[in-house]
Structure 1
Amino acid sequence: MENVEGIKKAAILMITLGSETSAQIMKLLPDSYIQKVSYEIANIDYVKPEERDAIINEFIEMQQARSYIIDGGIDYAKNLLNKALGAQRAKEVIDMLNQIQLRERPFNIARKADPQQLKAVLMNEQPQTVALILCYMQPEKAAQILAEFPIEQQSEIAERIGTISNTSPIVIEKIEKVIENKFSNYVDNDTETVGGVQTLAEILNSVGRSTEKNIISELETKQPELAEEVKAKLFTFEDIVTLQESDVQKVLRQVNNDDLMMALKGVSEEIKNFIFNNLSSRQVETLKEDMQFMGPTRLSAVEEAQQRVVAVIRQLDEKGEIYLRRGEQDVIIS
Structure 2
Amino acid sequence: MTVTTTGALPGIRKAAVLMVQLGRDRAAKVMAKLPEPMVEELTAEIVRLQQVTSAEAAAVLSETHNTLFSAENNGRGGLDLAKELLAQSVGAERAEEILERLGATLAEMPFETMRRSDPRQLLTFLADEHPQLIALVLAHLSPQQSAIVLSGFEQKLQADVAQRIALMERASPDIIRLVERELERRMATVMSGTQEMAAVGGVTPLVAIINRADRSTERLILEGLETVNTELAEEVRKQMFIFEDITSLDDKAIQLVLRNVESGDLSLALKGVSAAVREKIMRNLSTRAAENLAEEIELLGPKRLSEVEEAQAKIVTEIRALEQSGQIMIMRGGDEALVE
Query: Quick one: higher RCO (CA 8 Å, sep 6+), 1 or 2?
Result: 1
Larger radius of gyration: 2
TM over 0.5: no
Q: TM-score, normalised by structure 1?
A: 0.33
Q: What TM-score, normalized by structure 2, do the two folds share?
A: 0.33
